[in-house]
Amino acid sequence: MKYYIWTIGCQMNKAESLDISDFLASMDMQRVSKAAEADIAVLNTCVVRQNAEDKVTGMLGYLKGIWAEHPEMKIAVTGCFVTDDLSALKRAYPHVSLFFQPGEIGRFQEWVLQEYVQQKRRVRKIVSPVSVYIPIIQGCNNFCSYCIVPYRRGRERSRRPEEILEQAEKLVMGGAREIILVGQNVNTYGKDLERSCSLANLLSRLSGIKGIERIRFLTNHPKDMSKDLIEAIAALPNVCHHACLPLQAGDDAILKAMNRNYTMADYLRLVDRIRSRIGDIALSTDIIVGFPGETDEQFRTTYRAIEEIQFTAVHVAAYSTRTGTAASREYKDNVEHGVKLQRLHSIEELQREILNVSNNKMIGADVEILVEGQKNGKWFGRTYSDKLVFFTADGDYMGKMVDVEVKTATAWALQGELTRVHCFNC
Ligand code: SF4
């Protein structure tokens, strides 16, 4: 049996696709890169932007053509495209055998077992990648004015800590060394549970699992970054000194129109609080340029904020109207496309300069990395603070913790020489 999986969108989708893939591989199914060769095709979808939704409908149309010639092929669809109105989806896409919502992988597994019941006894041990994503919370309560996620993924629903710990233990037994906890806003993890549990509590429990070398998490809404969480990051030895704090804009009027619920002054105070407790923390961020009404001066405020804070990564996107959001109803998308692109490129250029300087300062330093794989004949991994590092060496270093002396640097990666291999058991 062969399966094909197509994923677009956020880390949550990537995490769930990995789980789906692991499950199908555990049924002795083989992954293929062409949908036309598959017995099961899974689409893990995103509708955050209109062009993402267009890609999904395009893909569904493409699969319909294959299905018309091979009606024995089963198609399953998950991700934000799957709304609560399943009957409307089934009417619109009769060639799809199963729609299941994010977080409902159990339903998918039951369906696969029913469809391919003869495979039931062939389940084998799953081998995990070195670095794995674990979703801990689904949905979002924030209603940022430009974002469709709360409408599509619904309100926040946290997974029980016991379930997450059990999954982490299994993944570590399968070879995982780094756990990345993901959610639209991991900072509010556990608030909706009957027996409340915070992200700080969860990190402390995960941190004790033997074999987990590193724990990361994303995304952290700035308004919900608690003192307990900052303390946990500072105190727990295998929790990486890294937080993704989306700023989105540096101007207070734009932040208000975005419904972000913090001001620039709040954000700067938070950055100070985190950095004064964890001096070497890496802070990354997301920025939207060209939000409706954004003037040149307001954009420059954002630009200056990025210059001042010196993030280790900036993910920048040009605003585009998303039907169904508050911003699409209340504001006119009135910043010209060319202006949006100019602003986007100037932030990319600024960030490239910032990283060039900070990465060059690392030349000569020894950095500790967890080796995640090989690319173009070089081993690669990330530092504790999320810098990408390459080195060349004979031997198998997959999943190993090694020290590398940095020899050269660009804005996007460091290159170095292997100096030491850590021993996990000594
Ligand atoms: S925090 Fe805002 S941007 Fe993030 S998922 Fe929730 S509504 Fe969307």
Instruction: Quick: pLDDT tens for 54-70.
Output: 999 999 999 999 999 88
Cα of 145 from ligand 1 centre, angstroms: 9
Fold topology of 2-122: Rossmann fold (3.40.50)
Residues 317-347 pLDDT 10s: 999 999 899 999 999 999 999 999 999 999 9
Stretch 236-256: mean pLDDT, rounded? 97
Substitution site in 142, 148, 188 for ligand 1 pocket (most atoms within 8 Å of beta carbon): 142
Q: What is the pLDDT of residues 145-196, one digit of tens each?
A: 999 989 888 899 999 999 999 989 988 988 889 999 999 999 999 999 998 8
CB-ligand 1 contact for 155 (6 Å cutoff): no
State pTM to two decimals: 0.85
Is the fold of 128-240 the same as that of 253-360?
yes
| Cβ pair 229, 221 in contact under 8 A | no
Ligand 1 near 184 CB (within 6 A): yes
- The CA distance from 252 to 263, in Å, is 5
Q: How many CA atoms lie within 13 A of 153 on its CB side?
A: 28
CATH, range 253-360: 3.30.750.200
Ligand 1 atom, smallest distance to 184 CA = 5
User: Which overall architecture, per CATH, does domain 366-421 show?
Assistant: Beta Barrel (2.40)
The DSSP code sequence of 119-178 is: GGGG--PPPPPSEEEEE-EES-S---TT--HHHHH-S-EEPPHHHHHHHHHHHHHTT--E
How many C-beta atoms surround the C-beta of residue 232 within 10 A? 20
The 8-class DSSP code of residue 248 comes to B
Nearest Cα residue to atom 2 of ligand 1: 144
140 lines ligand 1 (CB under 6 A): yes
Q: Residue 185 Cα, ligand 1 centroid: separation in angstroms?
A: 7
CA 184 to ligand 1 center in whole angstroms: 6
- Is the CB–ligand 1 distance for residue 148 below 6 Å? no
Each domain of the chain, given as residue ranges in start order, spans 2-122, 128-240, 253-360, 366-421
Q: How far apart are CA 125 and CA 127, in angstroms?
A: 7
* Ligand 1 atom showing the smallest separation from residue 148 Cα: 8
Asked whether the predicted pLDDT for residue 117 surpasses 70, the reply is no
Q: Which CATH number fits domain 128-240: 3.30.750.210, 3.10.20.30, 3.40.50.720, 2.130.10.10?
A: 3.30.750.210
**Does residue 424 surpass a pLDDT of 70?**
no
- Report the half-sphere exposure of 24 (CA within 13 A, side-chain side): 25
Q: What is the pLDDT of residues 28-49, one digit of tens each?
A: 889 999 999 999 999 999 988 8
Assign residue 143 a region (left: φ > 0; alpha: ψ between -120 and 50; beta: otherwise): left
264-277 and 227-235 helices, crossing angle to 10°: 30
Q: With pLDDT > 90 as the criterion, what percentage of the chain qualifies?
A: 75
**Which residues make Cβ contacts (< 8 Å) with residue 83, sequence separation at least 6?**
89, 152
Nearest atom of ligand 1 to the alpha carbon of 221 = 1
pLDDT above 90 for 421: yes
Q: Across all residues in the chain, what is the average pLDDT?
A: 92
**Is pLDDT above 50 for 426?**
no
